[in-house]
Chains A and B, each alone.
Chain A
Amino acid sequence: MSTTTDSPAWESTHSSSSPWINDDWLSVWIGLLIFFSALACLYGYDLLGWAVTTSVWIDPGQALSTVSKAYAALGGLGGLAVTYLALLAVLTVGAAALRANVLRFVAAFTVVFWFAYASWIVGSFAQIAAVTPADLQKYGISWSLKLTNEGGYIVALIAGLIIANAFPRFAEWLKEAIRPELYIKIAIVILGAFLAVTAVGKLNLATTVLMRGVAAIIEAYLIYWSVVYFIARKWFGFSREWAAPLASGISICGVSAAIATGGAIRARPVVPVLVSSLVVIFAVVEVLILPFLAQTYLWQEPMVAGAWIGLAVKTDGAAVAGGGITESLILAKSAAEGVRYQPGWILGTTATIKVFIDIFIGIWAFILGYIWTNYVNPSKSGERAKAIEIWERFPKFILGFVLTFVIGLAIALVAPAEVAGKLSLSIAEANTFRVIFFILTFFSIGVLSNFRKLWQEGIGKLAAVYLVSLFGFVVWVGLLISWLFFHGVKPPLAS
């Protein structure tokens, strides 16, 4: 769907009869399905080993393989086909539960998957992805863009942007499967287990990251929000109805926060939808710029970089996936300098910051709703914000993230060594799907970003507030706070 006001809200557009079936809960169910299927490895059942994985390649025939050698007979293309069919089946059931147009979803998802994964394969081409001199020698090439294979996210984003802006009718046709919030939430649920396995060897460092995540909450809700709201109201003359969702969108976590705030203050639906569209556009710009700035200026402070991306990039999808790009870029640069960090810590810091911020959306929306319905715009009918709204607006995918993290950590710490030893392998299989959902997220965000149409809708003044707030304040304060709290904290070295 394009980011326009005549589109449905891009979070969850399809009503369902059950509160347990929406994009948010669906991400929990699908994420847990993948997680528990992966855990079957612990008991000798390799249920997900057929999933496709991509290596850096110079010969296309070497690009794809299955994640487990047990399924090597399938071949890379066979693995890709099975991965597509499995995701199609699971997500189609989800689409049916959401009462989406199932046939349209099947057709659109097919196109989305193949475009997105083709982008990933292109991004793994050695002349885009190879990083170290040893890699260049290995592939027999003299230069490369050194984007690492996660440069495929950028390729997917650009592919989506081209479709959105050059082929808007095609983008509109794809909209049933353009669900970046669903895809990234599934990825985050899986990410919980991956982070648990990463954290288990260094629990002190993991605790440090968690403790410092508290600073992010204070910064986003109390400092960013108040300043952006003031700028929008006082400098740009926005009404309260526009300024509050805008402040939440810029300050907290983008789309979810704008929609939660819009609902809480009883704004017209068009307001948070338009703000959400703006958030996506700016997230695209940020993801194309900030990871490279982080690699250039913060490669010696990897955790500062991870925290900064979590604080500066709004929307969960762009932030967490941007953390993934930042991690691969910094790990590559560090490796070139002879320092090899353990993967997972930079991305883990970004995700922790984002999850911490997300947790309080419901509470913040309730506070705003209480103030609005009692003091700013009291309803004659006596309608007031209710405490149950805190739970209703709580992002449920965080429960899935916490669950996979806790189970993963418990297995690693408590299970017999024989079982725990297989955990890394099983989580690696789940992580393959996390990467695929990241790719789908990037592609979907690109398809949502129709710049011209958004401009025609008169979004210029909103964009001006965003530009002033984001690049004049949010990015720099985020950098300062990240520096203050994560300066000197280094990821463990790879063994």
Chain B
Amino acid sequence: MSQPDIRDELNRSPVEPLLPVEKKLIGWSFGIGVVLLVALIAINQLFPLAW
């Protein structure tokens, strides 16, 4: 693909709406990530490792 094509594609390509599976991927990833992080922080506070 030539360079002008890429520039045009990036600037003028039609918007693709978020599919339900993408929304699920974003939502579940973020949700699980936050829950796991909070759990790790809690474990870290409750059972601090010695050094």
Kindly state whether residue B49 has any CB partner on chain A within 8 Å. yes
A135 to B36 Cα, complex, angstroms: 47
Kindly state whether residue A274 has any CB partner on chain B within 8 Å. yes
Query: What's the minimum C-beta distance from A3 to chain B, rounded to whole angstroms?
Result: 13
- Residues of chain B within 8 A of A222, CB atoms compared: 29-30, 32-33, 36
Q: Is there an interface contact between A226 and B30, defined as CB atoms closer than 8 Å?
A: yes
In this complex, the interface size class of chain A, counting residues with CB under 8 Å from chain B, is 35 or more
A202 to B37 Cα, complex, angstroms: 26
A274 to B41 Cα, complex, angstroms: 37
- Residues of chain A within 8 A of B8, CB atoms compared: 458
Interface Cβ pair total, 8 Å cutoff: 93
Kindly state whether residue A339 has any CB partner on chain B within 8 Å. no
Q: Is there an interface contact between A227 and B30, defined as CB atoms closer than 8 Å?
A: yes
Instruction: State which of A207, A208, A457 has its C-beta within 8 Å of the C-beta of B3.
Output: A457
Q: Is there an interface contact between A202 and B51, defined as CB atoms closer than 8 Å?
A: yes
Q: Is there an interface contact between A226 and B25, defined as CB atoms closer than 8 Å?
A: yes
A477 to B25 Cα, complex, angstroms: 20
Kindly state whether residue A442 has any CB partner on chain B within 8 Å. no
Kindly state whether residue B1 has any CB partner on chain A within 8 Å. yes
- Within B2-23, which residues are at the interface with A (CB < 8 Å)? 3-4, 6-8, 10-11, 13, 15-16, 18-19, 21-22
In this complex, the interface size class of chain B, counting residues with CB under 8 Å from chain A, is 20 to 34
Q: Is there an interface contact between B18 and A458, defined as CB atoms closer than 8 Å?
A: no
- A-facing mask of B33-50, CB < 8 A → 1, else 0? 110110011001000011
Q: Is there an interface contact between B37 and A218, defined as CB atoms closer than 8 Å?
A: yes
Kindly state whether residue A239 has any CB partner on chain B within 8 Å. yes
Kindly state whether residue A375 has any CB partner on chain B within 8 Å. yes
Question: Taking CB as reference atom, which chain A residue is nearest B50?
Answer: A204
Using known A-B contacts A221-B29, A226-B33, determine if residue A458 contacts B11 with beta carbons closer than 8 Å. Answer: yes
- Residues of chain A within 8 A of B51, CB atoms compared: 202, 204-205, 208, 489
Q: Is there an interface contact between B19 and A376, defined as CB atoms closer than 8 Å?
A: yes
Q: Is there an interface contact between B33 and A223, defined as CB atoms closer than 8 Å?
A: yes
Q: Is there an interface contact between B13 and A270, defined as CB atoms closer than 8 Å?
A: no
Question: Taking CB as reference atom, which chain B residue is nearest A239?
Answer: B16
A234 to B26 Cα, complex, angstroms: 12
- Residues of chain B within 8 A of A212, CB atoms compared: 44
Query: What's the minimum C-beta distance from A245 to chain B, rounded to whole angstroms?
Result: 13
A204 to B3 Cα, complex, angstroms: 53
Query: What's the minimum C-beta distance from B28 to chain A, rounded to whole angstroms?
Result: 8
- Residues of chain A within 8 A of B7, CB atoms compared: 457-458
- B-facing mask of A255-271, CB < 8 A → 1, else 0? 00000000000001010
A219 to B6 Cα, complex, angstroms: 31
Give residues in A with beta carbon < 8 Å to B: 5-6, 202, 204-205, 207-208, 211-212, 214-215, 218-219, 221-223, 225-227, 229-230, 233-234, 237-240, 242, 268, 270, 274, 371, 375-376, 456-459, 461-462, 481, 484-485, 489
Kindly list 16 other residue pairs between chains A and B, CB separation below 8 angstroms, not including A207-B49, A215-B37, A458-B8.
Answer: A204-B50, A208-B51, A212-B44, A218-B33, A218-B36, A218-B37, A218-B40, A225-B29, A230-B26, A233-B22, A237-B13, A268-B1, A270-B6, A458-B4, A458-B11, A489-B51
Give residues in B with beta carbon < 8 Å to A: 1, 3-4, 6-8, 10-11, 13, 15-16, 18-19, 21-22, 25-27, 29-30, 32-34, 36-37, 40-41, 44, 49-51
Please list the 6 inter-chain residue pairs (A to B) with the smallest Cβ-Cβ separation, ordered nearest first.
A458-B7, A222-B33, A226-B29, A223-B33, A205-B51, A226-B30
26 A-B interface contacts by CB (under 8 A): A5-B3, A204-B51, A208-B50, A208-B51, A215-B40, A218-B33, A222-B29, A222-B32, A222-B33, A222-B36, A223-B34, A225-B29, A227-B30, A230-B26, A233-B22, A239-B13, A270-B6, A274-B6, A375-B19, A376-B21, A457-B3, A458-B6, A458-B8, A458-B11, A461-B10, A484-B44
